[in-house]
Structure 1
Amino acid sequence: MTATAKKHTDIELPTRPLTPGFGVEILDFDASTASPAELAAFDAVCRSNSVVVLRNQALSAAQVVGLSSRLGRLSSQHRDGPHPEFPQISILSNKKIDGKLIGIHGIGRNWHTDGTTYKVLGLTTMLYGVECPPEGGDTLLADTAGAFAALPPERQAELEKIQVVHSRAVLINKYKKFKIDENAESMKDVIHPIVVASPVDGRKALFLTKGSTKGIVGMADDAAMALMSELIEFATQDRFVYHHTWKAGDVLIWNDLSTVHTATDFDDSRYDRIVYRAWARPYELVSQTSAEEEIGPAH
């Protein structure tokens, strides 16, 4: 069965659900040759779904920047494996040239979301598969709005009172990916509720990650991390998860306020993997993003 999406455009793009009630694949769409009206319809699909998939695309790096820019303003990636010509793109890859990695490798192997250390939440992630191994290297996405809705009402009410402290310093130090910026202004903690409103449909969603979590307001550290682990385990049950098996030419887009995601391992001694990633901040939030936030990792 196929569905159609129509919003702020006279063009309807055929879609099919990825899983019941969570995400769609746009069918018969070529982003490189799409008309302005078709691209507007693409925008509408992305605004109205937490996860969107395109298959069989053939995009240059410049076209990846152009397509992802439709989702919001892109930040240059100073640390996260920047593309040599288009710093708005992070290269996720184990491939080496002259003995040196062309991007970053081995990240994202735990359930998390992006954009947790911004003072004002809102982020969309887009991945484009350039070269994909025949097995492994998949991306899993969990529906945190669906997970919240599945909780008993009394549990929902309890969680809506919880505030989580997120720290960029904790995130960076935990994974040792970068040297911690000595500028204290860029390392200030931020506090976000553990239940947020999905920008897709307004439903309440769990906002979960361990990477940047420093603690929970009014809760002992051990209890705070145990609660985060408990909720991530609940939200990532199979019934809430879309499993994306990559093929070269795939585009995968998700909203970070209503999902958590993780990557699976692959045999990096046998296969090369090259994926382009772009992080987009909604244009209406750009004025609320500091210079320090722009240059740091978006997790």
Structure 2
Amino acid sequence: MVHMGNNSMDIEVMPLSSTIGAEVRGVNLSQPISGKLKKRLLQIWHKYLLVLFRGQSLSDQELWRSGDWIGQLGQRSRPANRRSESDPYIMLVSNIRENGKPIGSLPDGEMWFHHDMAFVDVPHKATFLYSIEVPDYGGNTKFANMYEAYNLLPERLKNALAGKRVLQLFDYKETSQPSLNELDKVKHAWHPAIVQHPETGRKALYINRLMTATIEGIPHDKARDIIEEVILYAEHPSVIYEHKWKAGDFLVWDNRCSTHARTDFPSTERRLLKRGMVEGTTLIGA
């Protein structure tokens, strides 16, 4: 159970793994977060990249303000006429159908590692997921620490990426990467291959399997070879934590220095999570 109120002195911090993530106990996200607690949570978030609050019970209004301690809630990028939900801020991540129609987005199946919103010019800095219904098995979310992935890179690859931009693209209809020949049909943006986190100052890898298509200034075939090799480090088991969801879990992660992926689950199992994002700033190359 969570406490009725919030006090920075009451919280406990429990690391989820040796590389990324911490559970914070003693915080009720339905109550305002300010002052010392806000400062403390930001410190924890910047240290662990991913923060879990279990046992939450949030109305939509409470969910809208649940990330206020990080920043301003960001609007969704998917056009209203291409989604089932009407809310401009909160996405239903679900495979549930009502009257034969999906109630949400990103229904089921595996989804490769990615940075959220990497395909827009100013990606959101944070994403949160709040679980309502979860399958008995499968549908886990994996998180990878991109600070550590960068540190794992051999100097040869660090040098190959230094000062380079990468093309990030995504097609809402697919869970794998579209072709470069379809750029006029999909959202895409150029970003630094290595970013410097504006708060921590640390270098983070900004390359992922799902969205990173090519590297600026390098022939495409060679660029793909580099990306594929880099992904071996970006998805190395030593930088990954896999989260098994429980109803009432609230997870918030830093998109600037982490990636995430979804494991497959049976289409017969119901899964419903609510997702929101926090507005970011232009990514700065390291």
Question: Which residue does the alignment assign to 2:96?
Answer: 95
CA distance in 2, matches of 1:200, 1:146: 17
Letter in 2 for 1:98: N
- Which segments of 5 or more consecutive residues in structure 2 lack a partner in the other structure? 1-6, 177-182
Deviations 1:182-202 (A, max 9, x none): xx9997853222111134522
Residue 234 of structure 1 deviates from its aligned partner by 1.7
Question: Which residue does the alignment assign to 1:163?
Answer: 165
Does residue 53 of structure 2 align to residue 20 of structure 1?
no
Question: Which residue does the alignment assign to 1:234?
Answer: 233
Question: Which residue does the alignment assign to 1:223?
Answer: 222
Question: Which residue does the alignment assign to 1:128?
Answer: 130
Residue 94 of structure 1 deviates from its aligned partner by 0.7
| TM-score of the aligned structures, taking structure 1 as reference length | 0.77
Match of 1:31 among 29, 32, 41: 29
Structure 1 pair 236/122, CA: closer, same or farther in 2 (3 Å)?
Answer: same
- Considering fraction of residues, name the structure with more helix: 1
Residue 89 of structure 1 deviates from its aligned partner by 0.4
CA distance in 2, matches of 1:76, 1:107: 25
Structure 1 pair 268/38, CA: closer, same or farther in 2 (3 Å)?
Answer: farther
CA distance in 1, matches of 2:25, 2:8: 17
Letter in 2 for 1:118: V
Q: How does 1:278-293 map onto structure 2 within 5 Å?
A: 278-282=276-280, 285=281
Residue 173 of structure 1 deviates from its aligned partner by 7.4
Question: Which residue does the alignment assign to 1:252?
Answer: 251
- Which segments of 5 or more consecutive residues in structure 1 lack a partner in the other structure? 1-8, 178-183, 290-299
Structure 1 pair 44/154, CA: closer, same or farther in 2 (3 Å)?
Answer: same
- State, as a whole percentage, how many aligned pairs show the same letter: 27
Residue 32 of structure 1 deviates from its aligned partner by 1.7
Higher alpha-carbon deviation: 254-263 or 43-52: 43-52
Q: How does 1:164-203 map onto structure 2 within 5 Å?
A: 164-167=166-169, 171-172=170-171, 175=174, 190-203=189-202
Q: How does 1:17-96 map onto structure 2 within 5 Å?
A: 17-33=15-31, 36-37=34-35, 39-40=37-38, 41-77=40-76, 78-79=79-80, 81=83, 83-84=85-86, 86-96=87-97
Residue 210 of structure 1 deviates from its aligned partner by 4.1
Residue 275 of structure 1 deviates from its aligned partner by 0.5
Structure 1 pair 81/107, CA: closer, same or farther in 2 (3 Å)?
Answer: farther
Question: Which residue does the alignment assign to 1:5?
Answer: none
> Partner of 2:171: helix, strand, or coil?
helix
How many pairs were matched up? 266
Letter in 2 for 1:277: R
> Partner of 1:74: helix, strand, or coil?
coil
Structure 1 pair 28/162, CA: closer, same or farther in 2 (3 Å)?
Answer: same
Deviations 1:89-119 (A, max 9, x none): 0001011111111001137611111131232
| TM-score of the aligned structures, taking structure 2 as reference length | 0.81
Deviations 1:209-249 (A, max 9, x none): 34443421122222222322221222212111011000000
Higher alpha-carbon deviation: 28-37 or 198-207: 28-37
Letter in 2 for 1:195: I
> Partner of 2:158: helix, strand, or coil?
helix
CA distance in 2, matches of 1:76, 1:56: 26
Deviations 1:118-162 (A, max 9, x none): 324552111110111121110001111111112233432332233
Cα root mean square deviation, aligned = 3.0
CA distance in 2, matches of 1:103, 1:174: 13
CA contact (8 A) 1:111 1:232 kept: no
> Partner of 2:61: helix, strand, or coil?
helix
Higher alpha-carbon deviation: 10-19 or 233-242: 10-19
CA contact (8 A) 2:8 2:37 kept: no
